[in-house]
């Protein structure tokens, strides 16, 4: 669809990039936005009493507004710029978790969480003496909502759940999950790392308390992410890190913190990264989610039907509600051997535990091969993948 927009394919014309769930390639407009900012417009934000700095601040804050619009947040100050999804979750676990979770309380996660949405909560539990409760999965790799309902008790103080699984591809019924938690006044954090860039997100419609994601999985730069939080929560949370920018007045005796969102943005931020992120949002908006989703679905259904023809190949995650992620095993070869052989044919896939070791244990597999799609993928990429898997079979049988 848009391969020509991505310079990486000029440099590597034979590259078949099937690892967008790990990180996506960057369109020229994103690269140019950063380059142009450094070349022509660079200065610090929120500090300088000179034109360059004022311009940089304006573009930086415009991007915050753009990000708010992108996920339909009501206020720009509900968008906190972070390093990425991982930092966003850690921020909530530390600054909201300590207010919300006490000894004996329970936090609900799902069996398909990425390590980034497990360990911050596990650490919190160890600190305060709370417990993790895990929503189980059905055979198709979907959350068992009846099991979830049973886990929601008066002890539950938070639900943290992935929107789209980075392994199974399942698109979780987040709105339902949130509504059931809210019925018991339990706040919900949604890990949207795999969802943004693939699905239109409306945090007001979802009514989630926190929504977190990274720019680099949605055609933007690395090192930039977003924490969306409802104003009422962000207001009562203490700062995550302290230093410059996040203050209003400092004496050696006492510090008065800055207003939202700056309270959570200590130090000089990743200014160029944020500007590149803005260009990534523009890029996605230009294409539109209708086209993006139909492209995703076309690749997903073609790849699924072609892969299913391969004997000894088993797909993990067979929900009807799936994003462009397919994980599988092949009986004759280990995921790493498959990835090495495919790499020789310039096909980039992911192999291993996908930062979801508890899910691997749950599925009882040591490792999976994963292919995942971006807007630059074409049906011919799938054909090349299938030929590559033929070669794997030839080597191992």
Q: Which of 82, 59, 33 is nearest to 210 (CA)?
A: 82
Positions of E strands within 215-308: 225-229, 247-250, 255-257
CB of 115 or CB of 298, closer to other proteins: 115
Give yes or no for residue 333 binding other proteins (CB under 8 A): yes
- Interface region with other proteins, contact rule CB under 8 A, candidates 65-73, 175-183, 270-278, 333-341: 333-341
Say which residues have a Cβ less than 8 Å from residue 309's Cβ, sequence separation at least 6.
none
Give yes or no for residue 12 binding other proteins (CB under 8 A): no
Taking the complex as a whole, the smallest distance from the CB of residue 230 to other proteins amounts, in Å, to: 36
Find the length of the chain.
Answer: 397
Give yes or no for residue 52 binding other proteins (CB under 8 A): no
- Interface region with other proteins, contact rule CB under 8 A, candidates 138-146, 192-200, 291-299, 328-336: 328-336
DSSP H/E element including 348: strand 347-348
DSSP string, 110-126: ETT--GGGTHHHHHHHH
355 among known catalytic residues: yes
- Interface region with other proteins, contact rule CB under 8 A, candidates 1-9, 90-98, 305-313, 350-358: 350-358
CB of 71 or CB of 333, closer to other proteins: 333
CB of 65 or CB of 334, closer to other proteins: 334
What are the two backbone dihedrals, phi and then psi, of residue 314, each rounded to the nearest 5 degrees? -125, 125
How far is the CA of 232 from the CAs of 67, 95, 204, in angstroms? Answer: 19, 13, 14
Give yes or no for residue 340 binding other proteins (CB under 8 A): yes
The runs of H, that is alpha helices, within 102-207 are: 119-128, 145-151, 174-182, 203-206
Taking the complex as a whole, the smallest distance from the CB of residue 11 to other proteins amounts, in Å, to: 16
CB of 33 or CB of 333, closer to other proteins: 333
Tokens found for residue 343:
């790499």
Q: Which of 356, 363, 346, 302 is nearest to 8 (CA)?
A: 346
Give yes or no for residue 367 binding other proteins (CB under 8 A): yes
Instruction: Fill in the per-residue mask, 286 to 325: x = in contact with other proteins (CB under 8 A), - = not in contact.
Output: ----------------------------------------
CB of 8 or CB of 360, closer to other proteins: 360
Say which residues have a Cβ less than 8 Å from residue 124's Cβ, sequence separation at least 6.
93, 94, 97, 98, 101, 107, 130
Active-site residue numbers?
Answer: 355
* Binding footprint of other proteins on the chain (CB under 8 A): 333-337, 340-341, 344, 351-353, 357, 360, 366-367, 395-396
């Amino acid at each position: 669809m848009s391969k020509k927009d991505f310079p990486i394919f000029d440099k590597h014309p034979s590259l078949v990039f099937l690892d967008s769930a790990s990180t996506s390639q960057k369109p020229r407009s994103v690269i140019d936005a950063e380059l142009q900012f450094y070349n022509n417009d660079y200065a610090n934000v929120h500090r300088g009493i000179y034109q360059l700095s004022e311009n940089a601040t304006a573009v930086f804050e415009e991007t915050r507004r753009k990000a708010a619009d992108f996920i339909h947040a009501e206020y720009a100050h509900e968008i906190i710029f972070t390093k990425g999804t991982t930092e966003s979750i850690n921020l909530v676990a530390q600054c909201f978790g300590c207010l919300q979770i006490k000894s004996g309380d329970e936090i609900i996660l799902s069996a398909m969480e990425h390590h980034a949405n497990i360990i911050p909560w596990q650490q919190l539990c160890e600190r305060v003496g709370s417990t993790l409760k895990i929503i189980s999965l059905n055979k198709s790799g979907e959350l068992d909502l009846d099991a979830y309902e049973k886990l929601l008790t008066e002890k539950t103080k938070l639900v943290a759940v992935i929107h789209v699984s980075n392994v199974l591809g399942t698109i979780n019924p987040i709105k339902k999950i949130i509504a059931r938690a809210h019925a018991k006044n339990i706040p919900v954090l949604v890990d949207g790392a795999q969802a943004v860039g693939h699905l239109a997100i409306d945090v007001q419609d979802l009514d989630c308390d926190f929504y977190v994601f990274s720019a680099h999985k949605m055609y933007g730069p690395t090192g930039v992410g977003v924490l969306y939080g409802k104003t009422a929560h962000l207001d009562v949370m203490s700062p995550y890190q302290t230093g410059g920018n996040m203050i209003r007045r400092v004496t050696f005796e006492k510090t008065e913190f800055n207003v939202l969102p700056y309270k959570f943005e200590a130090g000089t931020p990743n200014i160029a990264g944020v500007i590149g992120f803005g260009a990534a949002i523009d890029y996605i908006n230009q294409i539109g989610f209708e086209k993006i989703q139909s492209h995703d679905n076309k690749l997903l259904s073609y790849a699924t039907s072609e892969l299913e023809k391969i004997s000894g190949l088993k797909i993990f995650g067979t929900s009807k509600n799936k994003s462009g992620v397919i994980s599988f095993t092949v009986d004759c070869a280990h995921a790493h051997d498959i990835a090495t052989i495919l790499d020789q044919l310039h096909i980039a896939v992911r192999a291993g535990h996908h930062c979801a070791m508890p899910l691997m244990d749950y599925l009882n597999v040591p490792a999976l091969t994963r292919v995942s799609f971006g807007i630059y993928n074409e049906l011919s990429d799938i054909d090349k993948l299938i030929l590559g898997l033929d070669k794997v079979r030839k080597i191992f049988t």
